[in-house]
Amino acid sequence: MFLLIHLLNILIVEYIPDYKLKQGESFYDLKIDKFYNDNFSKELDKYLENDDILDLRAGFYEKFYTIKKPYKTLKFIKDGKVVSHFAKAYRGEILKIIAQNDIKTFEDFMNLELKNLKLEEIKEQKLKTEIVYSII
């Protein structure tokens, strides 16, 4: 039907509004980050209680769930500057390597040789350990 309508060049009046919320938007009085925190945190805490956590979320999503146990996160730098635009691609590559090598612990992760990445430093801040890699 969609194709037919366009073939017949019929003007369509949209009755269903765009249902996607863009990053940072709210829906009436509903704050999405607060909703997730209030409704899913307990279950996520239980689900993650016996696992090591490598947090690969983009910074925007950190407010949706606060990790309540020690965890690691990654930062990528190139030419002394934090890479933000391509960080998603690097996190994806790391995730692929973790899956391919069946990595289950931080120790196993730290023993991986990561192509095109050099370990620069490890920063500890409360529960968060930030592993900083430079892109080579």
Instruction: Return the number of other C-beta atoms located less than 10 Å from residue 73's C-beta.
Output: 20
Name residues whose C-beta falls within 8 Å of residue 40's C-beta, 6 or more positions apart in sequence. 65
At 47 the pLDDT is: 92
Position 12 confidence tier, pLDDT thresholds 50, 70, 90:
low
| pLDDT above 50: residue 80 | yes
At 45 the pLDDT is: 93
| pLDDT above 80: residue 114 | yes
Average pLDDT over residues 6-22: 57
